[in-house]
Amino acid sequence: MPRPTILTRADFETAFDTLQGAPLTLAVLDLDHFKTLNDSLGHAEGDRVLRGVERLLSGSLPTGSVIGRIGGDEYAAILPETAAETALILLDEVIKHFHIHRDPQWPRGLGLSVGLAARPAHASTYDDLKRAADEAMIRAKREGRGRACIYVESKMVLKSNYYPKSQLERLAKLSGALGRTEASLLREALDDLIEKNRSEL
């Protein structure tokens, strides 16, 4: 199976436009502390890291994904017909792989931060979706780097406003034990609640 080509920014945006409103998730990836690596080990090593990231993305993302280099050390990927939660699992694996196989000489903080935004859930146009994914990526960096985050609208209420800390801790523990996201577990519980009370609807 041929690996997808890494597109330029312009070609990547054109590829997005050809999808004409189809459901998808846009992922924006940025290398953490890349400048530190360039300054300490030189631009040749920096280029080697970028080539490695490109091989990782093109070899790990599903068939039909579109990948582009949209800035110096910033990449983006379009995952057609993919929910944000599914994309989160995929990109988490990419981040872990990058971390596990990192070169020992690289700066300790070198890693990948990823922001995700879905159409139609978060936005429709490329510019709006990119802005949402960027915001999620900035949150990933703010929360410790080396992680992926899904865009959350500012008007959405955090689950911590609904549940006591003890329940959230148990949810996190269950999420880890089952290898599933907290969001998927909460959705399952909500589906069960609706099914149980279907006669009231």
Pair (129, 39) in one structural domain: yes
Residue 82 has pLDDT above 70, yes or no: yes
pTM above 0.85, yes or no: no
Average pLDDT, the chain: 88
Indicate if 186 and 98 belong to the same structural domain. no
Buried b (16+ CB within 10 A) or exposed e, 39-61: eebeeeebeebbeebbebbbebb
104 lies in which domain range? 6-150
**The two three-digit tokens of residue 164, written as one number:** 């006591």
Q: How confident is the model at residue 167 (pLDDT cuts 50, 70, 90)?
A: confident
Is residue 156, in this structure, part of any structural domain at all? no
- Give 196 or 137, the one with higher predicted confidence: 137
- Looking at residue 201, its pLDDT comes to 67
Give the H or E element holding residue 176: helix 165-178
Using 50, 70 and 90 to split pLDDT, how confident is the model at 199? confident
Both 89 and 182 in one domain: the answer is no
Given pLDDT bands bounded at 50, 70 and 90, which one contains residue 157?
very low
How crowded is the C-beta side of 187, counted as CA atoms within 13 Å?
6
Residue 158: what pLDDT?
Answer: 54
Which of these three, 150, 174, 189, is where a domain ends?
150
Among 96-105, 113-122, 191-200, the range scoring the smallest mean pLDDT is 191-200
In a domain, 30, yes or no: yes
pLDDT confidence bin for 182, thresholds 50/70/90: confident
User: Domain with 59 in it: what CATH number?
Assistant: 3.30.70.270
Are both 80 and 177 inside the same structural domain? no
Q: How confident is the model at residue 143 (pLDDT cuts 50, 70, 90)?
A: confident
**Is a pLDDT exceeding 50 seen at residue 159?**
yes
Kindly state whether residues 63 and 109 are assigned to the same domain.
Answer: yes
CA 153 from chain center: how many Å? 16
Is 1 a member of any domain?
A: no
Residue 129 in any domain: the answer is: yes
Q: Examine residue 160 and state whether it is found in any structural domain, yes or no.
A: no
Number of domains present in the structure of the chain:
2
Contact in structure between 63 and 52 (CB atoms under 8 Å): no
Q: Does residue 146 sit in the same domain as residue 171?
A: no
